[in-house]
Structure 1
Amino acid sequence: MKNIFNTEVTEEVKKRIENLLKDTQPSWGKMSVGQMLAHCNVTYEMVYSNIHPKPNKFTRWILKSFIKNAVVSEKPYPKNGKTAPQFLITEEKDFESEKQRLLGYLEKTQQLGENHFEGKESHSFGKLTAKEWNNSFYKHLDHHLTQFGV
C-alpha cells in the first residue's frame, strides 16, 4: 500500500484528482464525479471537523468488530460495495469546490504527517495506528479515483 504521508505519493494522488473533469464518468457505480469527491471528503471531515455525529457506544463496538478491518486493511474495496449512511451523497455537488476541498485535505494530512496520526482516535473505530490511517486514506481514494479512470 502506498504511503499517503509521503510527499511523492500525495503529489501523485493530487495529480490524479487534477485529471478529473466535471463530466468524467465512472466505470461503475451511480455517483457523479462531484458526488464522489464529496464522498471522499467525508473521511477528512470526520478527522478535521465535528459535523458528523459520532456513533454511540454500541454502534462503535459493531463498527470496530465487523467493519474496521475492511477499512484499515490493505485488501482493496470491492466494486459497488455497501456505503455507510454518512458517506451517501445523493444531492448533486459542485465539482470544483469539492475538488479543491479534497486537495486541501490531502495537503493538510501530508503536512501533519505520520506521527500526528499514530494512535489518533478515529471517529468510528477508536485509536488507529498511522499505518491503519494510511490504509484507510489511500485505499479509499485509490478505489474512487480508479472508479473514475484516473
Structure 2
Amino acid sequence: MKSIFEENAYNEIKNRLENLNENTTANWGKMNVEQMLEHCTKPIELALGESEIKKPNWLKKSLFKLVAPSLYNDKPWKQGLPTAKEYIITDSLNFNDQKEKLKSKIDKMSQSKDYFEPSKEHPYFGNFTAEQWGKSAYKHLDHHLRQFGV
C-alpha cells in the first residue's frame, strides 16, 4: 500500500488533484466535487490535531479496532461505506478554495511524519503508527479521486 509519506505517492495524489475541475462529476455517491474535497480535508486535519471528532463508546470503538486494518491494507474500499457524521459535507463550497485547502493539508501532513511517531491515537481506531497514518491517508484520497474518475 502506498503512503502519503512516500514522495511518489504524494506526487501522484497531487497530480491527480490537478485533473479535477469544478465540473468533474462523481461516478458514485452523493457528494459533488467541492464537498468531496472538503470531506478529504477533514481526516487530514484530524490527523494533524487541527480538529476533533466525537469518540465512540467503548463497544463501537472495539468494533472499529477490528476493521482498522482495512484502512491501510491493499484492498480497495467499496463504494458507499459509512463515514463519521463530522465528515458528511452538505454545504455549497468554492471549488478553488477547497482544492487549495486540501493541497495545503496534504503538503503539511506529508512533511510531518515525525509528528506521528512512535504512534498517534485515532479517536475511532486506536493507536496508529506513522506508516498506518500515511497509508490510510493515501487510501482515503485514492478512494475519492477514483470516485471522481481521476
Report how far residue 19 of structure 1 moved: 1.1
SS at 1:127 equivalent: strand
TM-score (norm 1): 0.87
In structure 2, the residue matched to 1:142 is 142
Query: Which consecutive segments of 4 or more residues in structure 1 shift more than 4 A?
Result: none
Q: Tell me the matched-pair count.
A: 148
Report how far residue 50 of structure 1 moved: 4.7
TM-score (norm 2): 0.87
Amino acid across the alignment from 2:90? T
Q: Which runs of 5+ in 2 are unaligned?
A: none
Q: Which runs of 5+ in 1 are unaligned?
A: none
Whether 1:69 and 2:69 are equivalent positions in the alignment is yes
Query: Once structures 1 and 2 are overlaid, which stretch shifts more, 47-56 or 133-142?
Result: 47-56
SS at 1:140 equivalent: helix
Structure 1 residues 89-136: Cα deviation after superposition (integer angstroms, max 9, x where no partner): 1122221111111101111111122x4323122232221122211221
Identity level (%): 39
- Judge conservation of contact 1:72–1:132 (CA < 8 Å) in 2: yes
In 1, Cα distance between the equivalents of 2:10 and 2:147? 18
In 1, Cα distance between the equivalents of 2:140 and 2:112? 19
- Judge conservation of contact 1:46–1:52 (CA < 8 Å) in 2: yes
Superposed CA RMSD: 1.9
Query: Once structures 1 and 2 are overlaid, which stretch shifts more, 14-23 or 90-99?
Result: 90-99
